[in-house]
A and B are shown apart, each in its own frame.
Chain A
Amino acid sequence: EIVLTQSPATLSLSPGERATLSCRASQSVSTYLVWYQQKPGQAPRLLIYDASNRATGIPARFIGSGSGTDFTLTISSLEPEDFAVYYCQQRSNWPPLTFGGGTKVEIK
């Protein structure tokens, strides 16, 4: 089973700042890495698929990068609606699909 480790657990930033979230895989997942956003009381929402492709309707400030075992989600300039929990998920070697533990982006 591929283990995904996200860091940091919590990121405290102000609107307008850049957010950099990390996801590290226990073995290579090529570019089969997905990012989701989840707000309180809501279901997750697809943001980025295959490491760097934005899903339909996702703003350009969300940038995914990486390959192999190291991936980054960058939010170039935080908007108030971006404060949420972000999860990475691998679909390279499954079952099982596996998720990271999440990074909470909170308002400083």
Chain B
Amino acid sequence: EVQLVESGGGLVQPGGSLRLSCPASGFTFSTYSMNWVRQTPGKGLEWVSYISSSSSIIYYADSVKGRFTTSRDNAKNSLYLQMNSLRAEDTAVYYCARNFLGSGGMIDYWGQGTLVTVSS
């Protein structure tokens, strides 16, 4: 069974930092590209970042470029999101999400999400 379990969310002040982690199990993590997607409470979905299986390609949404860094450790079967210079508008549930094998941009599994709240 595919499992993606996000952690690391919480309350942080504007300008602060957080690091999200997403250990994966139930599949060969090193062969799949991954995404971070966020959802503002009560609102819709926003793609945040993509990382290829080997980390050779990483993309970011313009709204987080220069502030967020996506990485992965295939030896530890884990995905990470380092979030710096956090703003109130970054408040959201952050999902770790797996791309369908060989298909960029089609998400076939999502974690349950971790809530990040940016507030003073």
- The 3 residue pairs across chains A and B that have the minimum distance between CB atoms: A91-B105, A43-B110, A97-B47
Question: In whole angstroms, what is the CA distance A89 to B45 when docked?
Answer: 9
A59 adjacent to chain B (CB < 8 Å): no
Inside 8 A of B61's CB, which chain A residues have their CB? 95-96
Instruction: Decide: B111 and A43 in contact? CB cutoff 8 A.
Output: yes
- Of the A-B pairs whose beta carbons lie under 8 Å apart in the complex, a sample of 21, sorted by A's number, is A43-B95, A43-B111, A43-B113, A44-B95, A44-B107, A46-B100, A50-B106, A87-B45, A89-B105, A90-B105, A91-B105, A95-B47, A95-B50, A95-B59, A95-B60, A95-B61, A97-B35, A97-B47, A99-B46, A99-B47, A102-B44
Residues of A within 8 A of B60 (CB): 95
B window 98-120: CB within 8 A of A? 100, 103-113
Show the binding face of B for A, using Cβ within 8 Å.
35, 44-47, 50, 59-62, 95, 100, 103-113
- Quick one: which of B50, B59, B61, B107 has the most chain A CB within 10 A? B107
- The smallest beta-carbon distance between A31 and chain B, in angstroms, is 12
Query: Once bound together, how far apart are the Cα atoms of A41 and B103, in whole Å?
Result: 27
Shortest beta-carbon distance, B56 to chain A, in Å?
15
Complex partner residue of A96 from B47, B104, B109, CB under 8 angstroms: B47
Cα A34 to Cα B47 in complex, Å, equals 14
Residues of chain B with a CB closer than 8 A to A94's CB:
47, 59, 104-105
A32 touches B105 (CB 8 A): yes
Contact surface of A with B, Cβ cutoff 8 Å: 32, 34, 36, 42-46, 49-50, 55, 87, 89-91, 94-102
Closest CB in chain B relative to A75 CB, distance in Å: 20
* Contact A91-B106, Cβ < 8 Å, known A43-B111, A43-B112: yes
Residues of B within 8 A of A97 (CB): 35, 47, 50, 105
**Which residues of B sit under 8 angstroms from A91, Cβ to Cβ?**
103-106
Kindly name the residue among A36, A42, A49 whose own CB sees the greatest number of chain B CB atoms within 10 A.
Answer: A49
Q: Shortest distance in angstroms between A77's beta carbon and chain B's nearest beta carbon?
A: 26
B contact residues around A87 at 8 Å (CB): 44-45
A44 touches B100 (CB 8 A): no
What A residues does B50 contact at CB under 8 A?
Answer: 95, 97
